[in-house]
Amino acid sequence: MHDIAPHSRLADVVTYHPPLARELERLGLDYCCGGLRKLSEACEELGLDPDRVAGELRTVAAAADDGPAEWAMMGLSQLVDHLETTHHRYLWDELPRIAGLVEKVVAAHAERHPELYAVADTFHALHAELVPHLQKEETGLFPMIRELATADELPSFQCGSVANPISEMLREHDQAGELLLTLREITGEYRAPDDGCSTYWTLYDALAHLEADTHLHVHKENNLLFPAVTSVERRLVAG
């Protein structure tokens, strides 16, 4: 079992123990965009005891873990394929469905729950952020990564270094993360009100799943894929 201690990086906790993603979500510990931070640093920011949290995580990991997930051991091309067929496919299917739920819930409940207007605005901003992001990865960055993965010498890319589109993706990940955080705050951590109908509850459940899936998606890119791609490019540059 990979050690879980206050000095462990949040990204490593999830990479080696994927079931702990849910536990970190529950505690409010950002393992995707903030995955390079130590557990101790993230806990102290939230007023949590790092030793106690590490112990709780070890207990959950011992009961739930089968070791690193398959995606944690993939090569570049495999990981890119996995991201497209798993997380990209999820977003292409789910974003339109959630948009429809938002429209229905706002029409039925916004008069009594005006915060729904902010939920709708934030979701639409997130939707508008994610769609071109997926397109840029699928038509630009990911083909570059597949080419790098099989290259014996450095390919010539129109954008120059692959670090350039990666930097853009990282910025967009941060922006999406901020919008998701806003959604969590506006919705009271995705808790629908007592007078909410089944569609209201379905919407908030869908938003919670969207947040969790996007966090894991970003983790795989920020903390696994992008560092590995950068390493391959440096090796090819060095010849």
pLDDT at 213: 96
Q: What is the mean pLDDT of each run of 10 residues along the chain (239 residues)?
A: 86 90 91 92 95 94 79 95 98 98 97 97 98 97 95 87 94 97 96 94 97 96 96 88
C-alpha distances in Å from residue 155, one per residue of 144, 161, 162, 169:
9, 9, 10, 20
Amino acid at 80: V
The alpha carbon dihedral of 198, 28, 93, 187 has a sign of positive
pLDDT at 33: 87
What are the backbone angles phi and psi of residue 197, rounded to the nearest 5°? -80, 180
pLDDT at 66: 66
The total number of residues shown for the chain amounts to 239
pLDDT at 158: 85
Q: What is the pLDDT of residues 104-154, one digit of tens each?
A: 999 999 999 999 999 999 999 999 999 999 999 999 999 999 999 999 888
pLDDT at 197: 94
Residues 6+ apart with CB under 8 A from 91: 130, 134, 213, 214, 217
Single out the residue of 87, 110, 53, 239 nearest to residue 176, CA to CA. 87
pLDDT at 114: 96
Q: What is the pTM of this model?
A: 0.90
Which pairs count as long-range contacts for 150-155, CB under 8 Å and 24+ apart, including other chains?
Answer: 150/77, 151/236, 153/236, 153/239, 154/233, 154/236, 154/237
Residues 6+ apart with CB under 8 A from 8: 38, 39, 54
